[in-house]
């Protein structure tokens, strides 16, 4: 089977959850698929992500990612059997072979004001392309149900396939490296961790209000480490910095910015617990990262989060700082921590890169047949 993968919209040098999903999935598709060749359609070489010395991974480079006619010519030239679009809104019309796309979430239907184009424009986009897709892959049962209900894609076309963590989290950690990372980032001895981009639905300010409440009302000083790419032009990031200054929290809240993937497992390993106040997730990779590093979790009860975390987390209303604060107080108890770690270790077995790739291959086979 010759699979064309549309990576023409792949981001630059720093990658988010979707890009990590693509990287890990492609590597494992190449490993688990018998008689499978992957043709990566890209507008620049990504040899650090997809080395060109793997026999069944081929890179096809384009100067202009918007030239759809050139893409269709290449599909014919390389005798592509199935066309796959794993990136958000990277669809192309009139593809001459069966077409599969990943829709990670439909955030625009729950929080239209958080997404460019809001609800109407985004729904029109999906209306235009949905009839041309032979199958849609998504990353949770929650997202599957939302896609069926909100975007009106027929249920028989939509497949929920769980992701797994980046490869770095499935490798054994080096104890010496744990200490080196702690020193490198000047991490406190105990801290809560929130790894997230500075987007509105990530809900940073409500979390900070809970941290402030813990300090002022409950006399509990909880250091917090934030990771995620920072830009001075990002209004959410600027509002976080302003809040810290206004409430004299600069020494308690540690903003690390972008952290390379190889360091992230150690940031988890050094933490006391993961705090995850997101208002909406299609999956929630940090939840599985926490499970794989034996990190207790305190999480929002919205979106896919209760499905992915299951019984391995304490849950709160992400719009209520007091509820967040109270659940943080609970997770600080040693007995609670140990029980959540035990449950997380068991729940982590539900997520596998090999299984994800194998189930994706089955979707490709189904549209061929």
Reported as a single tens digit per residue, the pLDDT across 43-69 is 877 767 776 677 899 999 888 766 889
Q: Across all residues in the chain, what is the average pLDDT? A: 93
pLDDT for position 15: 56
Calculate the CA 337 to chain-centre distance.
Answer: 24
Classify burial at 114, counting beta carbons within 10 Å of its beta carbon; exposed 0-12, middle 13-18, buried 19 or more: middle
Q: Lowest-confidence range among 30-44, 228-242, 303-317?
A: 30-44
pLDDT at 31: 86
Residue 283 has pLDDT above 70, yes or no: yes
Condensed to tens digits (0 to 9), the pLDDT of residues 115-171 reads 988 889 888 999 999 899 999 999 999 999 999 999 999 999 999 999 999 888 988
Which H/E stretch holds residue 58? Answer: strand 57-61
Q: Is a pLDDT exceeding 60 seen at residue 325? A: yes
Query: Phi-psi category of 358—alpha, beta or left, where left has phi over 0 and alpha has psi -120 to 50?
Result: alpha
Phi, psi dihedrals of residue 318, rounded to the nearest 5°: -70, -5
**What's the CA gap between 243 and 241, in Å, rounded?**
5
**Three-state secondary structure call for residue 35:** coil
The CATH topology of domain 168-350 is Rossmann fold (3.40.50)
Let me know if the fold of 2-164+352-368 is the same as that of 168-350.
Answer: yes
Band the pLDDT of 12: cuts 50, 70, 90.
Answer: low
- Close Cβ partners of 198 (under 8 Å, ≥ 6 residues apart): 204, 228, 229, 230, 231, 234, 236, 237, 240
As given in the structure block, the two tokens for residue 242 are 């302003």
Q: How far apart, in whole angstroms, are the C-alpha atoms of residue 352 and residue 25?
A: 11
CATH number assigned to the domain with residue range 2-164+352-368, chosen from the 4 options 3.30.413.10, 2.70.170.10, 3.40.640.10, 3.40.50.2000? 3.40.50.2000
What was the pLDDT predicted at 64? Answer: 74
DSSP state, 222? -
d(CA 125, CA 114): 17
For residues 260 and 238, what is the distance between their CA atoms, to the nearest angstrom?
22
Residue with token string 């060109």: 52
Q: Which two tokens stand for residue 224?
A: 């917090």
Q: Which of 81, 72, 77, 74 is nearest to 35 (CA)?
A: 81
Contact between 297 and 313 under an 8 Å Cβ cutoff? The reply is yes
Six-digit token pair at 170?
Answer: 């499935």
- pTM, two decimals, is 0.93
Q: What are phi and psi of 260, to 5 degrees?
A: -55, 145
> What is the domain partition of the chain in residue ranges?
2-164+352-368, 168-350
Residues in the chain: 369
Is 84 buried (19+), middle (13-18) or exposed (0-12) by CB count in 10 A? buried
């Amino acid at each position: 089977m010759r699979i064309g993968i549309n990576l023409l919209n792949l981001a630059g040098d720093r990658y988010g959850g979707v890009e990590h999903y693509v990287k890990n999935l492609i590597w494992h598709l190449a490993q688990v698929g018998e008689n499978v060749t992957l043709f990566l359609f890209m507008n620049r070489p990504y040899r650090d992500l997809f080395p060109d010395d793997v026999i069944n991974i081929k890179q096809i480079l384009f100067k202009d990612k918007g030239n759809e006619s050139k893409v269709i010519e290449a599909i014919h030239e390389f005798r592509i059997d199935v066309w796959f679009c794993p990136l958000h809104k990277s669809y192309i019309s009139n593809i001459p072979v069966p077409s599969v796309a990943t829709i990670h979430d439909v955030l625009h239907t729950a929080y239209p004001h958080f997404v460019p184009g809001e609800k109407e424009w985004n729904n029109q986009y999906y209306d235009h392309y949905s009839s041309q897709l032979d199958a849609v892959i998504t990353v949770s049962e929650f997202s599957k149900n939302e896609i069926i209900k909100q975007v009106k894609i027929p249920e028989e076309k939509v497949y929920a396939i769980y992701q797994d963590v980046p490869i770095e989290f499935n490798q054994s950690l080096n104890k010496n490296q744990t200490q080196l990372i702690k020193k490198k980032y000047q991490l406190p001895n105990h801290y809560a961790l929130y790894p997230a981009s500075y987007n509105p639905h990530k809900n940073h300010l409500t979390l900070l209000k809970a941290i402030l409440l813990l300090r002022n009302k409950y006399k509990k000083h909880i250091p917090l480490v934030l990771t995620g790419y920072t830009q001075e032009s990002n209004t959410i990031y600027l509002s976080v910095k302003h809040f810290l200054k206004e409430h004299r929290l600069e020494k308690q809240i540690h903003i690390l910015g972008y952290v390379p993937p190889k360091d992230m497992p150690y940031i988890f390993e050094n933490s006391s617990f993961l705090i995850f106040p997101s208002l909406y997730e299609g999956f929630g990779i940090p939840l599985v990262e926490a499970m794989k590093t034996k990190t207790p979790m305190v999480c929002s009860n919205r979106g896919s989060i209760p499905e992915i975390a299951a019984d391995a987390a304490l849950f709160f209303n992400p719009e209520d700082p007091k509820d967040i604060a109270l659940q943080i107080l609970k997770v600080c108890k040693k007995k609670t921590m140990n029980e959540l770690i035990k449950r997380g270790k068991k729940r982590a077995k539900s997520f596998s890169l090999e299984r994800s790739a194998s189930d994706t291959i089955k979707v490709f086979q189904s549209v061929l047949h």
